[in-house]
Amino acid sequence: MRLDPEFLSRLQFAWVIGWHILLPAFTVGLASFIALLEGVYALTRRPVFLNLSQFWLRIFAVSFGMGVVTGIVMPFQFGTNWSRFSDAAGNIVSPLLAYEGLTAFFLEATFLGVLLFGRKLVPPAMHFVAAVLVAVGTLSSSFWILATNSWMQTPAGYEVIDGRFFPKDWFAIVFNPSFPFRLAHTVSAFYVTTAFVVLGVGAYTVRRGQWLAEGRAMLRLALWFLAIFVPVQIVLGDLHGLNTLEHQPAKLAAMEGLWDGGRGVPASIIGWPDAAEQRNLAEIAIPRVGSLYLTHSWDGEVKGLKDFPADQRPPVAIVYFAFRIMVGIAVLMLLVVATGLVLMARGRLDGSRWYLRLCQFTVCLGFIAVIAGWTTTEVGRQPWTVYGLMRTADSVTPSLTGPDVLASLLLYIIVYLMIYPAGLAVMLRFVWRGPMPTGEAAPVESGRPKSPIEALRSEALRATGPETAT
């Protein structure tokens, strides 16, 4: 078998971005949550919020560190494996990436240091400002990286000279047609993902009964937040889909598994898209409903995959199933949140152990949905890097051989499979230890420096006083 450097490079990119995106999916929301907790604590001085902030800060530090190091990998991928894309599109995408670094990375890294290590070194107000700045940094990072990604999906504001892209209108480049929808849908997805983690950890904490006040606070904050944001996210997703219908019709046809376009198209519920036969096998579909939700009219016209040459269609099955996983999870999320609200209204939230247990399992829902959504939009963009203009096959580094990329891919796989479980284990241990400072971490072993995290724990102990810490 001949090793194809393009295919392997795509696998490698999918591997490193797939693992990396799990971290912003969590830290973007968590940074805002911590800023909120710090703010509420600054106003109310209630120790429960300080404990929660310290608790989540420990977990944030680990995930943020992992996000930094796996994030450094990303810009280098453009050079190592996609050098022709870099040469052709560098004039347009590079300032957006650079603005991400300038407006976000330094802000996050610097003020996280202050947040973690500086509670005693800076005034309380400055500590709160540091929390806000970290959160602003994560949002700014999302803004610029999604602007870059959106430009590759729906390019605008450019001209092509000798096969290379040149900027004509920077406003049009940044605020390209899919950007506002993608930004809203993605950031909202990150917030929902984080909220489900907080919900699950809150449920676990309540179920253990040891730190009831903290657990109850997490559970309720998360539920109220999700009660608003899960429906909002579904609406945003729908708007994003309609935007895709307008600007990337081939991708949308693949999401819908729609081979034959026309008026009054069916909605495919489930089936097996067969690219060779150009139809869905074993399909369950509802006639005409596709047109209804895509065009808001029973016989609205929608393009099908057959309206595009075979070499301009994305891999249909992957997009089709990834999209269904994402939508399926949205439905699950709604059910979980609705159930929680009913229990809360009846005052039985903390006592329903089956529900608390369920919430522990739903911690992973957001992450799966983010990966599925990302797969939908990125695989759906294929076979292009710049949609409709530059093919993925023409973007790959020409000097690379199959064995080169196979070697690098295997190394990335090995290293990521080592660090992710290790990082997860550490975070789970924090959850297991719970949101209150424990005696073990108190005025530490003499002669030995405290770990940054242990330093945090004893700070919390001091701030809350012994009566609440026992």
Partner 1 sequence: MMPALSLVPIWTTILALGVFFYVALDGFDLGVGMLYTFAPDRNARGLIMNSIAPIWDGNETWLVLGSVGLLAAFPLAFAIIIPAVYFPILLMLLALIFRGLAFELRYRNAEHRTFWDHGFAAGSALAAFAQGVVLGAFIHGFNVKGRQFAGGSLDCFTPFSILTGIALMFGYGLLGAGWLVIKTEAGLQDWARRLGRYCLVGTALAIGIVSLWTPLADAHIAARWFSTPNIFWLAPVPLITAALIWYEWRSLGDGSEYAPFLAALGLFVMSYLGIAISLWPMIVPGHFTLEQAAASQSTQAFLLIGTLVLLPVILLYTGWSYWVFRGKVRADIGYHG
Tell me how far apart the alpha carbons of residues 250 and 381 are, in angstroms, rounded to a whole number: 9
Task: Work out whether 137 is an interface residue with partner 1 (CB under 8 A).
Answer: no
Closest approach, Cβ 381 to partner 1, in A, equals 21
Q: Which is nearer to partner 1, 399 or 470 (CB)?
A: 399
Tell me how far apart the alpha carbons of residues 120 and 123 are, in angstroms, rounded to a whole number: 7
Q: How many CA atoms lie within 13 A of 137 on its CB side?
A: 23
Q: Site for partner 1 (CB under 8 A): which residue of 1, 2, 121, 310? A: 121
For residues 396 to 435, the per-residue mask of contacts with partner 1, x marking binding by CB under 8 A and - elsewhere, is -xxxxx--x--xx--xx--x---x--xx-xx--x------
Rounded (5°) CA angle 39-23-207: 65
Place of tokens 């050098």: 83
Task: Work out whether 98 is an interface residue with partner 1 (CB under 8 A).
Answer: yes
Q: Which is nearer to partner 1, 100 or 350 (CB)?
A: 100
Task: Work out whether 304 is an interface residue with partner 1 (CB under 8 A).
Answer: no
Asked whether the beta carbons of 231 and 173 are under 8 A apart, the reply is no
Closest approach, Cβ 398 to partner 1, in A, equals 5
Amino acid (1-letter code) at residue 30:
L
Other C-beta atoms within 10 Å of 268: how many?
21
Tell me how far apart the alpha carbons of residues 340 and 34 are, in angstroms, rounded to a whole number: 23
Tell me how far apart the alpha carbons of residues 285 and 47 are, in angstroms, rounded to a whole number: 54
Which of 99, 105, 169 has its CA nearest to residue 137? 105
Per DSSP (E only), the strands in 115-163 are 158-161
Asked whether the beta carbons of 213 and 49 are under 8 A apart, the reply is no
Which of 379, 313, 386 has its CA nearest to residue 152? 386
Task: Work out whether 106 is an interface residue with partner 1 (CB under 8 A).
Answer: yes
Q: Site for partner 1 (CB under 8 A): which residue of 209, 309, 439, 447? A: 447
Please identify, among the stretches 42-50, 235-243, 272-280, 452-460, the one whose residues bind partner 1 according to the rule CB under 8 A: 452-460
Q: Angle between the 316-345 and 365-381 helix axes, to the nearest 10 degrees? A: 150
For residues 169 to 208, the per-residue mask of contacts with partner 1, x marking binding by CB under 8 A and - elsewhere, is -x--------------------------------------
Tell me how far apart the alpha carbons of residues 201 and 192 are, in angstroms, rounded to a whole number: 14
Closest approach, Cβ 392 to partner 1, in A, equals 16
Task: Work out whether 451 is an interface residue with partner 1 (CB under 8 A).
Answer: yes
Tell me how far apart the alpha carbons of residues 361 and 370 are, in angstroms, rounded to a whole number: 16
For residues 14 to 53, the per-residue mask of contacts with partner 1, x marking binding by CB under 8 A and - elsewhere, is ----------------------------------------
Q: Site for partner 1 (CB under 8 A): which residue of 71, 266, 373, 434? A: 71
Own/partner long-range contacts of 69-76 (Cβ < 8 Å, ≥24 apart): 70/16, 70/19, 70/20, 70/23, 70/416, 71/20, 71/23, 73/16, 73/20, 73/412, 74/16, 74/17, 74/20
Please identify, among the stretches 84-92, 235-243, 272-280, 283-291, the one whose residues bind partner 1 according to the rule CB under 8 A: 84-92
**Cβ neighbours of residue 180 closer than 8 Å, sequence gap 6 or more:** none
Q: Which is nearer to partner 1, 227 or 419 (CB)?
A: 419
Closest approach, Cβ 115 to partner 1, in A, equals 10
Token pair for 54: 């310290």
Please identify, among the stretches 107-115, 175-183, 345-353, 380-388, the one whose residues bind partner 1 according to the rule CB under 8 A: 107-115
Q: Which is nearer to partner 1, 76 or 272 (CB)?
A: 76
Task: Work out whether 113 is an interface residue with partner 1 (CB under 8 A).
Answer: yes
Closest approach, Cβ 69 to partner 1, in A, equals 4
Task: Work out whether 68 is an interface residue with partner 1 (CB under 8 A).
Answer: yes
Task: Work out whether 331 is an interface residue with partner 1 (CB under 8 A).
Answer: no
Q: Which is nearer to partner 1, 100 or 378 (CB)?
A: 100
Q: Which is nearer to partner 1, 109 or 232 (CB)?
A: 109
**What is the per-residue DSSP string for 50-92?**
HHHHHHHHHHHHHHHHHHHHHHHHHHHHHHHT-HHHHHHHHHH
Tell me how far apart the alpha carbons of residues 262 and 131 are, in angstroms, rounded to a whole number: 52
Q: Which is nearer to partner 1, 66 or 370 (CB)?
A: 66
Q: Site for partner 1 (CB under 8 A): which residue of 446, 466, 467, 470? A: 446
Please identify, among the stretches 187-195, 301-309, 335-343, 444-452, the one whose residues bind partner 1 according to the rule CB under 8 A: 444-452
Q: Which is nearer to partner 1, 75 or 261 (CB)?
A: 75
Task: Work out whether 83 is an interface residue with partner 1 (CB under 8 A).
Answer: yes
Task: Work out whether 466 is an interface residue with partner 1 (CB under 8 A).
Answer: no
Please identify, among the stretches 56-64, 215-223, 254-262, 276-284, the one whose residues bind partner 1 according to the rule CB under 8 A: 56-64
Please identify, among the stretches 39-47, 94-102, 338-346, 349-357, the one whose residues bind partner 1 according to the rule CB under 8 A: 94-102
Tell me how far apart the alpha carbons of residues 170 and 22 are, in angstroms, rounded to a whole number: 30
Closest approach, Cβ 400 to partner 1, in A, equals 7
